[in-house]
Amino acid sequence: MAPRLTRLAQSLPQTVPFVGVETQERASGRPFRARLGGNENGFGASPRVAEAMTLAAGEMWKYGDSESHDLRQALAARNGISAENIAVGEGIDGLLGLVVRLFAEPGSTVVSSLGAYPTFNYHVAGFGAHLHVVPYRDDREDLEALLQAARTLQPAILYLANPDNPMGSWWPADEVAAFMEALPEDVLLVLDEAYGEFAPPSVLPALHPIRPNVLRMRTFSKAYGLAGMRCGYAIGAPEVIRAFDKVRNHFGVSHMTQVAALAALGDDAFLKDVVLQLQACRQELVTISRDNGLVALPSATNFVAIDCGSDGAFATRVLRNLAEQQIFIRKPMAPVLDRCIRVSCGPEGEIALFAEALPRALAAASSAAQ
């Protein structure tokens, strides 16, 4: 007899939050010419990262420091907090799984937004909690409706991304701070700030006070260009941060990942240059959209959501035709949001390929609709 899955595992669909770009390339039998769908930093990481990893290559036989001590100390100094306020993990995705495992009982309620980051939903389902979703309003997560859901449903966790993925929208810091203040004290707010380095200074609330019911998630995958290294961190109250030690993979953040993250964190000049390149690229995507009769939504992230001016079926046809032209992008899937495609910022050459391919994709999508 074969081993039996748990009842929960048997009940779960055979799905993944995102089909990887390499998986899609293997299925099509050819590589993409432009990789603009993963919200990666196509401008790369600081040269200091490669230098530091080269120097540390002879130490690859070592497990990583199980406490990520040096990295936590550096992050604490950067953010003006204590190292006991920081937990390091295998990207925000890995930390989200730990948060759900720690705070959501099987059968308990978790609140998010309809169309928000699907990996969080994947973890909620995987640990047997019930997900309640609140629709977006005006292409932003609806703070008022989320707060009402928190008061009515008394969820274990409420997830909010600011700036938001997949729309690139944001709330100003004072409104997010007021939301934190109004949230019931027994509801854990997971505030995903993965794109914070790309946002205006007025978007991220001050870290102080550090509230016992708020965990703020940040990452090295976006602005620092280390998506392949898998390193993220949570900022929270010491008693909440200590709870991660009960369930985390203590050697999950490799030695080389910690070396890379420390080197990236130390190169402010490179980070500033990346942000400038990204701002220019966002403006270029606005221009490309306008030239094709489309509307680019305002963005505080490293991608731009582009309103295709029709419905989800039309936007899907655009996405598929771009894939046939070997241009990799993604799109929101929730109703209303799904009228858009989402294009990551990247090198000039890849953006030029997108600009060349988009008119053909729009024409093909229009022709198929007739």
Quote the pLDDT of residue 370: 66
Quote the pLDDT of residue 213: 98
- Kindly state the average pLDDT of the residues 335-358: 97
CATH number of residue 293's parent domain: 3.90.1150.10
Domain assignment present for residue 6? The answer is: no
Quote the pLDDT of residue 234: 98
Q: Which range of residues forms the domain containing residue 183? A: 47-266
Q: How many CA atoms lie within 13 A of 113 on its CB side?
A: 31
Q: At residue 363, does pLDDT exceed 70?
A: yes
**Largest interatomic CA distance in the chain:** 62
User: CA 208, 72, 190, 179: dihedral to nearest 10 degrees?
Assistant: 10
Q: At residue 210, does pLDDT exceed 90?
A: yes
- Kindly state the average pLDDT of the residues 294-308: 98
Quote the pLDDT of residue 16: 84
- Same domain for 76 and 224, yes or no, is yes
Quote the pLDDT of residue 362: 98
- Same domain for 297 and 170, yes or no, is no
Quote the pLDDT of residue 15: 84
Strands (E), the chain: 34-35, 86-89, 109-113, 130-134, 157-161, 188-192, 214-219, 232-235, 295-296, 303-307, 327-328, 340-344
| SS3 of residue 103 by DSSP | helix
- Kindly state the average pLDDT of the residues 61-75: 97
- Same domain for 69 and 215, yes or no, is yes
Considering the chain, what is the average pLDDT of its residues? 96
- Same domain for 203 and 90, yes or no, is yes
Q: Which range (17-21, 76-80, 328-332) has the least confidence?
A: 17-21
pLDDT per residue as tens digits for the range 117-132 = 999 999 999 999 999 9
Cα-to-chain-centroid distance, residue 358: 25
pLDDT per residue as tens digits for the range 94-106 = 999 999 999 999 9
Domain assignment present for residue 13? The answer is: no
The predicted model scores a pTM of: 0.95
Q: At residue 1, does pLDDT exceed 80?
A: no
Cα Rg of the chain, angstroms: 21
- Same domain for 335 and 305, yes or no, is yes
Quote the pLDDT of residue 2: 84
CATH number of residue 200's parent domain: 3.40.640.10
Domain assignment present for residue 12? The answer is: no
- Kindly state the average pLDDT of the residues 1-13: 90
Distance CA 288, CA 293 (A): 9
Q: Structure tokens of 107?
A: 């059968």
Phi first, then psi: give them for residue 133, nearest 5 degrees.
Answer: -115, 145
Distance CA 238, CA 104 (A): 19
Q: Which range (13-22, 183-192, 344-353) has the least confidence?
A: 13-22
- Same domain for 179 and 249, yes or no, is yes
Percent of the chain with pLDDT over 70: 99
Q: At residue 215, does pLDDT exceed 90?
A: yes
Q: At residue 237, does pLDDT exceed 80?
A: yes
- Same domain for 37 and 93, yes or no, is no
Quote the pLDDT of residue 334: 96
| SS3 of residue 161 by DSSP | strand
- Kindly state the average pLDDT of the residues 152-163: 98
Question: Domain count of the chain?
Answer: 2
Quote the pLDDT of residue 250: 95
Q: Which range (17-26, 122-131, 214-223, 352-361) has the least confidence?
A: 17-26
